[in-house]
Structure formats: C-alpha cells, structure tokens
Structure 1
C-alpha cells in the first residue's frame, strides 16, 4: 500500500476481474517477501517501491490464502506510473472514500488498516468479500 502526501493511495483495476485493489500478488518459488513485493508493484504499476512496515495479515477462509499488506514508500528512482499494464486495466491514485466505494469490504479494510494512525499490525479474516469474525481479529499487539 503506497500513500502519497495528499492522502491518495495507489490502486489498480485488475484486468482479470475488474475489481479495484492495491497492487499485490503471489511470491515466486524461493522469492523473499520484500523482493516479491517490489516485483509485483513494479509489474502492476510501473513504479518502484520500498516496504516500510507490515500493516496487516488477512486470511481468506474460503481460499485458505493469507495476504500480507505492507505500507510502502516510493523509491527515490520510482519512475512514472503506467496508465495500464498486462495485469492492470487502470492505475489510479484514489482517496479513501473512493476506495470504500470501489472496493469490496475485504479489500478496502486493508487500505484503511494501513492508513490508521496507530502502528499496530491488523489481523483479520474474510470470505473474499466481507470481513468475518473468526476470533483472531485485532492486532499483533493484542495477541501478545
């Protein structure tokens, strides 16, 4: 999740299903998390980023997939955002309200958690669309 000084967040409209999300993807075999994060954002937006901190852990209980969300900053040599890529039909800097309107709750919450004023890492479960209560919601600080 990349947020500019004006509060807008880097988002993509996925080419495969048309949904608005923050850039992301799956690690390749043997790939380290920061390297995969940099690769995925570059592939989907044309921008170079650097991870700053883990902001959330999200379990899709239907697919048994765990997503990690990191707050990132643009790299000093970030380049220019593309208007579209092989994976992204559209790339835009959206406001938090636009994200709430365009994204399903399970994805909007990732941005809202990352933009929260506290430094805690959120832990949430969802069904691909909506958040669900699974007894793990909270933060890493709550779990210790």
Structure 2
C-alpha cells in the first residue's frame, strides 16, 4: 500500500478517466467547499461536494448520495451549471457541476466510502474568502458562473 495520501489517490484514481458529479450550494452568501488532500499541484484542492458514479447510477442520484455521504445534507438537484475537465496527471476527471438546494440536515464533514481518507475539512466560503484561496487549489471557474449574493 502506498505510504502517503497523494500516492494512494494516484493509485486509486489515476491513469483513467473518471466521471464526477458535483453540487454547488450557496447559503447565506457562502459556498460550501471540502478540502481534498493528495490532489492537485500543491497536494490539496478545495472543491464542492461530489464524487464518482457507481455503475448504473445517474448523475442526479450519484450527486444526492455523494452529498449526503460527504456533508450529511439531503439536497434537491437543480440546473446544470458547468461541465469541467480536471486534468492534473495522472488524474483526469470529467465533472458535472449542478446547482443544489438543501432540503434537510446540518453540514458536517462526512467521508468518502473508499478506503482513502481524502476529505479533511468542510468550510463555508464568502466570495472574498474564495477569491483568497490559492488559484491552483480551487475550481476557479466557479466565480465566473456563480452569484454569491
């Protein structure tokens, strides 16, 4: 077994194309983000909740499942906001970003069902907080497509 989280991530998710479904929730002018360790140019990446699909699972069903696993929130999936390719070798993901709305629950850091402990932090970011994150450690396109007000 690889010794560090980055090696584990590369071994588990690397050298294949992964389809991810992601949910963007804005509440009280803040966006919900999760810190993913072992990913990106600086070994961490802030992104909205979401993840890979299980065989036979739709984007919508997968997003509801992932959101509840990672944050404890039950959500309603609304419109598709953006289609993104995340390519930082050896990782390659096709990501569908949806606007979501909370139905029930309180946001708390959950887990990934995989054996790798990638999620390390949950935080709500204001627009200025988001802008102040390192540009290599977040999906920069979110500012362009979202209104935090």
Q: Does TM, normalized by the shorter one, top 0.5?
A: yes
Aligned length: 113
Q: 1:35 Cα deviation (Å)?
A: 0.5
Which residue of structure 2 lines up, in the alignment, with residue 10 of structure 1?
32
Q: 1:34 Cα deviation (Å)?
A: 0.6
In structure 2, list runs of 5 or more residues that go unmatched.
Answer: 1-23, 113-118
Please report the TM-score for the alignment, with normalisation by the length of structure 1. 0.67
Please report the TM-score for the alignment, with normalisation by the length of structure 2. 0.65
Bigger fraction of residues in strand: 2
- Rounded to whole Å, the distance in 2 between the matches of 1:58 and 1:74 is 23
2:110 to 85, 88, 107: 85
How is 1:45-64 mapped onto 2 (pairs within 5 angstroms)? 45-61=71-87, 63-64=91-92
Deviations along 1:79-130, whole A, 9 cap, x unmatched?
1111x3234322111112212222535843342244149xxxxxxxxxxxxx
Which residue of structure 2 lines up, in the alignment, with residue 72 of structure 1?
100
Does the aligned pair in 2 maintain the 1:41–1:49 contact within 8 Å? yes
Greater relative CO, 1 or 2 (CA 8 Å, sep 6+): 2
Does the aligned pair in 2 maintain the 1:56–1:69 contact within 8 Å? yes
Which residue of structure 1 lines up, in the alignment, with residue 128 of structure 2?
97
Which residue of structure 2 lines up, in the alignment, with residue 39 of structure 1?
65
SS in 1 for 2:63: helix
Question: Segments of 4+ in structure 1 off by > 4 A?
Answer: 61-64
Does the aligned pair in 2 maintain the 1:56–1:113 contact within 8 Å? no
Cα RMSD of the aligned pairs, angstroms, is 2.3
In structure 1, list runs of 5 or more residues that go unmatched.
Answer: 118-144
